Amino acid sequence: RLPEFVGSIKAQTNVPVAVGFGISTPAQAADVGTFADGVIVGSALINAVDAAQDKPAAAAQFMGALKAGMEKATD
């Protein structure tokens, strides 16, 4: 249902439409990236960084995994 909902919004505006609610894995980001203009990840990033000793590295690793998943899905 979400792809159809986002599609109906995109049909009514020229503004990019981003989705972000409960997205916490690369697979979820990849799925949403196939129909939304942007993917918003908040809590999952905070949780990944909060649990890590090396916070900058954890953030980079987490975001890299999300980016790779989205690139794979949209190629």
Q: Which residues lie closer than 8 Å to 57 by C-beta, 6 or more apart?
A: none
CA distance 2 to 7: 8
Q: How far apart are CA 71 and CA 31, in angstroms?
A: 11
Structural domain boundaries in the chain: 2-74
- Which tens digit of pLDDT belongs to each residue from 17-34? 999 988 988 889 889 989
Q: How many helices (H) and strands (E) does the chain have?
A: 4, 2
- Whether residue 75 is predicted with pLDDT greater than 80 in this model: the reply is no
Over pLDDT 90: what percentage of the chain? 52
Mean pLDDT of the chain: 90
Single pTM value for the model = 0.76
- Residue 74 CB-half CA count within 13 A: 19
Which residue, 29, 30, 36, is CA-closest to 10? 36
